[in-house]
A and B are shown apart, each in its own frame.
Chain A
Amino acid sequence: MHVLLVEDDALVASGIVTGLKLHGLTIDHVNCASLADTALKSSYFDVCILDLGLPDEDGISLLHRWRDQGQQLPILVLTARDALSHRITGLLGGADDYLIKPFDLLELQARLHVLTRRLAGRSKDFVEHGGLVFCASTGEVRLHGHPVSLARRELALLRALLQNPQAILSTEQLCDSVYGYEQSLESNAINVHVYHLRRKLGNNIVETVRGLGYRLGLPEKLDPL
């Protein structure tokens, strides 16, 4: 899951970034509204954590602006203002969820999963695909009931593919989801992860659409012993 964090306080931002990375999420951090605009234009994100107290623009007005521009990205608002009126204004202004500082990192992570799950139209925390079961919050993967150990990047790649089961995802999109935009990476980085996924979950789990990118395929069938 590729998360955009818009937070002006460096201390809070570094905590969230490190914490979510430890949970296997890919996260990019910007500290003001103008950089958030640029980030949204240049990269693909699954969810956004937005702090309302930004230095260059009020978070609520940024939210309004994004929704007016037709931005569909699920947004979790983070704020120190706990008055009921603020929360209502935020939710009516287009926020999908609201968390008041100080919050629990585990709760933040759980809420991010709920937001992306809802966007994918699921009501359960795990995705079933063929014989594959993927638990979104813990990152646990089972193939026909047997646990499969995946590295962090492989997990992020699988998450991105399962999040959009019908869509063809370009290499850039997958790069965004796996690495975020801050890391420079080698051109075949995604290929390596695709190779590992195929090795662990079956050759057809990732379909290559020539010239366009990749699409989710079916996992390996159970061996009829």
Chain B
Amino acid sequence: MSLRIRLLLIIGLGLSVLWTVVAGWMFLDARQSLRDALDNRLAASARMVAGMVAQMPEPAYLAADDSRKPFDVIARDGVACEVSLLRSQITAQAIVRTSGGPDLTHAISGFGTHMYGKKRWRTYMLRQGNIQIATADSMDTREALIKELALSAGVPFLVALFGSLIMLWFCITHGIAPLERIRDILAKRKPGDDSPLAPIKAPIELQPLLNTIEQLLERLQAAILRERRFTDNAAHELRTPLTGIKTHIQVAGLAAELPDENKTLKAALDKADHGVLQLQSILDRLLNLARLDDDALHAESSDPREVAYAAREQFQASYPDLENRIFIKEEGAISCVNVARPLLLSATQNLIDNALRYTPYDKPVIVHVKQPDSRRVRISVLDEGPGLNAHDRAQAVNRFWRRDRTIPGSGLGLSIVEAIARRHDGTFKLLDREGPGLEARLEFPV
């Protein structure tokens, strides 16, 4: 349901109910006042007639016999009047009556409502000595008056009510116009549009909403950008070795058709093989990452010192010229950590590998193992390479991110280290060293 209709329904219904109750109350009040006024008129008329009768000499017909018809008088304002002579306590004989008026000789004392000749009357009866004076109003006339009253007050009320609903519609439309403008601008925005929101004229109450939308768009844009950069990098890292393989296979095909190109054929096949190994290494790393994200962890513990020495040994076995470039520094007693040994070894190897790639050949790489407090163990790998600026340090754990594409690598090493740390409630940070180089700091709870 649109906001406009919602507001109109809520405010419109509220207003209508409130004004209907007030109108009903006013109508009942006015009707009661009208009835009281008409009753007062009846009583006043009766008292006036009583006063006139008292001042008059006793007419001769007072003594007349019962069978005489009452004397008709002309009345005004629709009030019927009857003057009767009391014969006894209960019988009265009408002597004067308004022409066309009802027989009121049996009316009760004070106010009453009676049916006379199929019509309802409001009566007032007064006794003064042996004279009984009764006045009456036709109830139909009274109801007509009340109807007229209701009509004359109700029609303007209804007009005003409908008028206010229409006004409400316009006011709400005008009031929510800034929202409509915001909606329009957001609806017209194309996907991938990275320009900031155009300035919108909006009241101060909406500014927080606008700011939130703007921040959300910025965050969204940044996320899209990160995603795009990731797919670009991933495409580059995966397609480049694939291109190498494909090209060299095609070269081999070409060379096979030509005489005297046996050497080219063999070289091309060797290169294609090299490309396959490169691709295989990237895929292995990606699979490792995927496993780290999905697999349940096994409760295993390993000794960080032993792992650091094992990592150094493996490097030295693979690259004999590395001798004496990897130093291991231990500080104090070091507890075991709850990380499976292969994972801790892989993380340490990745860090050392990374450090060696960026450190000049004559500079050492230091693996520093210590326990800064009783709760965590820290493995720091310190190099003397070019280091990274703050922006690159934040980017470095992103998959396929590589600072320098001339240095071989897949851009997945630090992502794997970060994933291992994250999976074991540890932390992985890249820190600026005081001198040249970078500190890669891995911490695990004991």
Binding site for A on B (CB under 8 A): 192, 228, 231-232, 235-236, 238-248, 250-251, 254-255, 258, 261, 264, 267-268, 271, 274-275, 278, 404-406
Contact = CB atoms under 8 A, between A and B. Distances in A.
A102 B249 CA distance: 12
A23 B246 CA distance: 17
Contact of B236 (A32, A81, A85): A81
Contacts of A22: 251, 254-255, 258, 261, 264
Contacts of A80: 232, 235-236, 238-240, 243
Q: Which of B228, B235, B278, B404 has the most CB of A within 10 A?
A: B235
B241 A11 contact: yes
Given A32-B406, A83-B231, A106-B250, A18 B267 contact: yes
- The B interface, classified by DSSP as helix, strand, loop or mixed, is helix
Contacts of B250: 15, 19, 104-106
A19 to B, nearest CB: 5
Given A15-B271, A83-B231, A102 B242 contact: yes
A208 interface: no
B405 A82 contact: no
Given A19-B251, A101-B242, A102-B239, A14 B258 contact: no
Q: Which of B235, B240, B243, B404 has the most CB of A within 10 A?
A: B243
Given A11-B271, A81-B236, A105 B251 contact: yes
Given A12-B244, A18-B264, A53 B236 contact: yes
A15 B242 CA distance: 12
A147 interface: no
Nearest to B237: A80
Contact of A12 (B243, B261, B264, B267): B243
- The A interface, classified by DSSP as helix, strand, loop or mixed, is loop
A195 interface: no
Contacts of A12: 240, 243-244, 247
Given A80-B236, A82-B235, A18 B243 contact: no
B228 A101 contact: no
Interface string A91-121: 0000000001111111000000000000000
A105 B245 CA distance: 12
Contacts of A54: 405
Given A9-B244, A15-B251, A18-B267, A55 B235 contact: no
B232 A81 contact: yes
A9 B240 contact: yes
A23 B258 CA distance: 11
Which 8 pairs show the lowest CB-CB distances between chains A and B? A15-B247, A11-B244, A80-B239, A102-B243, A101-B243, A80-B236, A105-B250, A101-B239
Q: Which of B235, B245, B247 has the most CB of A within 10 A?
A: B247
B230 to A, nearest CB: 12
Interface in A1-33: 8-9, 11-12, 14-16, 18-19, 22-23, 31-32
A209 B250 CA distance: 42
A88 B49 CA distance: 109
